[in-house]
Amino acid sequence: MIIEEIIANIEHLDREEIGKRHIEKVYLESADLVKRIQRVTTDHGNEIGIRLKQQRDLVAGDVLYMDDKNMIIVDVHSDDLLVIRPRSLQEMGNIAHQLGNRHLPAQFERDEMLVQYDYLVEELLVQLHIPHAREERKVKQAFRHIGHSHG
């Protein structure tokens, strides 16, 4: 089976409709969410190809296949993350500036900043006394570097 389009995201489907179907999952590393072409295996051992026509990243919960009885959805493995919890706008601005200078991609959930684990960043957070924790956590989308060069 070759998947060329994402049908929907499971978050936007009716719970009753989801409950009627057997769910298979494709577990990806967060870095693989940016790949439009790849061969994957479901948690039931079925091999499928992904060759997306549209220019978009995969997101956790994307429905790759669905019929009356079955669906195949994307899930991600947990990442080793630093979860940063600044106490003020000042702390957020300070750490965002520091990490931006390192071109480190970040994601935001509620009042937390998520970055992939790096011991140098952890040392910086300790030095700046910014609350943080190292956690294994799933992210919904890939960490993306933003293209930029210093002129």
pLDDT in single tens digits along all 151 residues of the chain? 899 999 999 999 888 888 889 999 999 999 899 998 999 999 999 999 999 998 889 999 999 999 999 999 999 999 999 999 999 999 998 898 888 888 888 889 888 999 999 999 999 999 999 999 999 999 888 887 555 444 4
What residue segments make up the domains of the chain, in order of their start? Answer: 2-76, 79-137
Q: Fold match between 2-76 and 79-137?
A: no
pTM listed for this prediction: 0.76
Q: Say what the pLDDT of residue 104 is.
A: 85
* CATH class assigned to 2-76: mainly beta
What's the topology of domain 79-137? Alpha-Beta Plaits (3.30.70)
Question: What residues pair up with 71 in beta bridges, in sequence order?
Answer: 23, 66
| DSSP-derived secondary structure letter, 147 | P
Angle of CA points 13, 50, 36, to nearest 5°: 95
DSSP state of 8: E
